[in-house]
Chain A
Amino acid sequence: MSSERFDFAIAIGGAAGQGIATPGNVLARIFIRRGLHLNAYNAYQSIIRGGHIFLTMRISDEPVHNHGDKLDLLVCLNQDTMDRHLGLMGPGTRVLYNSDTITPGTPEDGVHLCPLPINELTDNNRNKLVQNTVALGTILYLLDVDFQILEDIITMQFQRKGQEVVDENVGVARAGYDYAAAHFEPFTQSLPSGGKPLAVWTGNDALAMGGASAGVKFYCAYPMSPSTGVLHWMAQNARELGIMVRQVEDEIGVANMAIGAAHVGCRSMCATSGGGFALMTEAVGSAAMMEIPVVFIDVQRAGPSTGVPTKTEQGDLWQVLGASQGDFERFIVAPTDALDAFNTVPELFNLVDQFQCPGIVISDLLISEGTFSVDPDAIDMQPGINRGELITESGNGASDIPTGSQLSNGHGLIGAPSNGYLRYVNTESGISPRALPGVEGYAHVVATDEHDEDGVLVSDEFTNPHKRRKMVEKRARKFKNVAERIDPPVLSGSSAEDAEITLIGWGSTLGVIREAVEILNREGVAVNHLPIKWIVPLHVDAIQEVFDQAKKTVIVENNHSGQFHRYLRSETGLSADGHIRKYDGEPFMPHHIVDGVRELLAGTTDIFVPYQEVIV
């Protein structure tokens, strides 16, 4: 812990089924109510009972953007945790464990072992989860927190299970608290208080809330880790918010159902992970061909195939880029953290509504399943809504209906003159006003086959190269200057003139790179950082400018093959000088990037792959 800033990390390790979530939630509530910032990462496995779970909660009186490099307090719920992680603990740290069941290893000098005789403290309570509550009491004593605060949260947490359960839990928490007071030395820094109370959410909550704020009225999904949290939030809030939520037979059905709802006028969204997204890909292209706005979310996990279902990766970029056959227009965006994910979803809905095309959000396990504090005043659930050119009521007559003959591309008239409504009228912008089914006078057919302006197929009985070319160009025109509609990436850290290395990341790596840059700058290494969020459209000019000025460019990404690097090269011809890549399933920690920068500056390697010390 540095003297000026409170920066503290607790880890709780155990097996699935040992109830890590409850103490994690209780602690999170206590921290955010005191105005402490929280960034929690839960390393877990695809098993309901057993295995190993390792929850890291980093808290600070200043914003924290990743789960950090070090631990101050380790809570061992089983022997496995002790055996795996005691070696991570350094001087001044505390290690809590049930001394009835766990034998401590040999710690580094200065580590305080805190054995808890659970049976004695709980009158031989046979509930195995009781050790968690004892540990909570002990943790809060060590952090110099008044017991009443814990009592209040435990009461809230267990209220619906009855007074007896509340009393029992408060009792054992008290026992842990008092035992610690008698036997253990508290941390030198006590838990700060008095900050503005914060809120807590996961990235999946944020994605779902972004959808709800955007006016999503139809959400459907097939459960798939790590995207399922979006479905859970939507299902929980569906009735209160008037959202139709459906669990569908497969992701093919999900994507197509979302498109059906979107076509008749709902803002419609669905989320999955890479495997499910693979099943959705044909539908992505169909939404583009029929020009139906719909939002897909791919929460990446480690692939390929079933891969490592509970581990993170940025490995789906090329899948998303290549999703569906043919050339078509779509937005692809990789939010950089939970709040950004929340704000991005409504922005994306406004874009896909205006440009009548699909939009894809790339998240990952790190963002989606991470637990983060957030300033409640930063959550604006009433963003501006722009639905684009939409016809929702019957018009006065043909004169108000846009037809091909009224529109010009500057080279004479384009489009088929007609008195009727043309769904795909060939406008200068490429955007054709969209009538919703049910509106009298605008009946039309949309088709996944190539079609003319009126929706009639030019794919089967009649094919026509000129009409085909016209329609391809009409759709493409929508995206001509689309990059102007989104914010370009912004360089941060050392100035362009000074920086010895420019780090480029995309999506969820923003927080960890930002901290690595801070560490390096403090240590006198001039480094700056360009975080990329929008994949399509890509701000080629802004990126080119950064590359022109950079002394050495390094791309940081959570995959093996450098997917973003390959994409950047294909779009810009730019190639980075070095790479920091991680593909072991676990997210970057700040020191991984710091170490990488040092190695790359020393010139010992072009591709640095950090070693993952925390094994789960």
Chain B
Amino acid sequence: MSVETLPREEVEAKPVAPLKAKDFKGKVDPDWCPGCGDFGVLSSLQRACVNLGLRPHEILTISGIGCSSNFPGFFNSYGMHTLHGRALAVATGAQMANHELTVFVTGGDGDGYGIGGNHFTHTARRNVDLTYIVMDNQIYGLTTGQVSPTSSIDMRTKSTPFGSVEAPINPITAAIMNGATFVARAFSGDARHLTGLIEQAVQHRGFSLIDVFSPCVTFNKDNDYPFFKQRVKKLEDEGHDPGDWKTACEKAMIWGDEIYTGLFFQKKGAPTLGDQEPVLDEGGAIARRDLGISQEQSDRIIKRMM
């Protein structure tokens, strides 16, 4: 490929104009239903990136499949729209291969806690340095309304016409138990609060989960905007200590007239997966290092075989 290149320093030395939220607008407009909670998540992430001074090319946004997983197409950054449930696995590979990128993973509750549940568990315990934003609408939307892993007991959907008999997963306690080091919940109807949480999550080194109540106005008539508006209560207003995982779990279990949002749990200073990999200690992103091995390395390997 004969693309003329500038040395990296020169590129970086160019004065950088401050970006606006519209600079993080993708090539196409969202195809979400009017009123979808995901709009609030998109605008919050765009605003957070502006506030954090990030540039689109420094970001890799990875999603799986589902309404909310169309996210990377609506957001200006490098993006990957991968397989259903696999975004966290892809993101771990990408983050390890280029740990200089800011990695966002965006998706829904079915994608992340259902089909992708195994990766959710293991990405959390590995403390991979990325921000996972789950647009949790408690329903399968793109398949036109079936029960999801976060649907409430008794919820009637197309696949549970007589009401769901299965208890929902609690993403907050699950994440804490699995070793996530930043665990928050937000409501897409409160973009200012969500934006602040995203900023904190990006600044946090390690695996950050933000489970966002993002109402599906088409298929979930139980958990709509009024449902959450009446109930959400910010932990910050109560002086919750995010270092206290037990209280965090207690508050996360409350699901009634009050439902808490905010930063439940944060463990600062825990080493990330990348921090613990000596291979990353020097030389920058492994994706950008020279390929192949030296003559000395080759000689050593072959000598051991003799």
Contact = CB atoms under 8 A, between A and B. Distances in A.
Contact of A256 (B1, B86, B302): B86
B17 interface: no
Give the interface size bracket for A toward B: 35 or more
Contacts of A87: none
Interface stretch (A45-53, A445-453, A541-549): A445-453
B90 A260 contact: yes
Contacts, number: 243
B89 A198 contact: no
A240 B297 contact: yes
B93 A218 contact: yes
Interface in B27-77: 27-28, 31, 55-58, 60, 62, 65, 70, 72-73, 76-77
Interface in B159-174: none
A440 B100 CA distance: 14
Nearest to A233: B301
B87 to A, nearest CB: 8
A200 B303 CA distance: 10
A94 B3 CA distance: 69
Contacts of B70: 457, 460
A264 B285 contact: yes
Most chain B beta-carbon contacts within 10 A, residue among A240, A259, A260: A260
Interface in A230-276: 237-244, 246, 248-250, 252-254, 256-268
B252 interface: no
B90 A382 contact: no
Given A242-B279, A249-B119, A393 B6 contact: yes
B292 A215 contact: yes
Nearest to B302: A376
B90 A266 contact: no
Contacts of A218: 93, 96-97, 286
B83 interface: yes
A444 B79 contact: yes
**Chain A CB within 10 A, most for which of B6, B65, B285, B301:** B301
Contacts of A396: 4-6
Contact of B76 (A249, A381, A443): A443
Interface stretch (A384-392, A498-506, A554-562): A384-392
B287 A394 contact: no
A167 interface: no
A199 B302 contact: yes
B291 A447 contact: no
A448 B27 contact: no
Contact of A239 (B1, B279, B293, B301): B279
Given A256-B83, A438-B98, A447 B73 contact: yes
A391 B1 contact: yes
Interface in B277-306: 277-280, 283, 285-293, 295, 297-298, 300-302, 305-306
Contact of B80 (A263, A382, A388): A263
Contacts of A379: 298, 302
Contacts of B82: 256, 259, 286, 290, 448
Interface string A270-304: 00000000000011001000100000000000000
A601 interface: no
A217 B306 contact: no
Contacts of B302: 199, 376, 379, 381
Contact of B97 (A217, A283, A455): A217
Nearest to A199: B305
Contacts of B95: 260
A254 B90 CA distance: 9
A246 B78 CA distance: 24
A200 B306 CA distance: 6
B5 A265 contact: no
A261 B5 contact: no
Contacts of A239: 278-279
B193 interface: no
A445 B73 contact: yes
B118 A253 contact: yes
B254 interface: no
A442 B279 CA distance: 28
B94 interface: yes
13 contacts: A200-B306, A215-B290, A215-B292, A249-B119, A256-B90, A256-B93, A385-B292, A390-B1, A433-B3, A438-B101, A443-B79, A445-B78, A456-B27
Given A437-B78, A445-B81, 7 more contacts: A32-B306, A242-B279, A263-B80, A283-B86, A376-B306, A438-B101, A447-B81
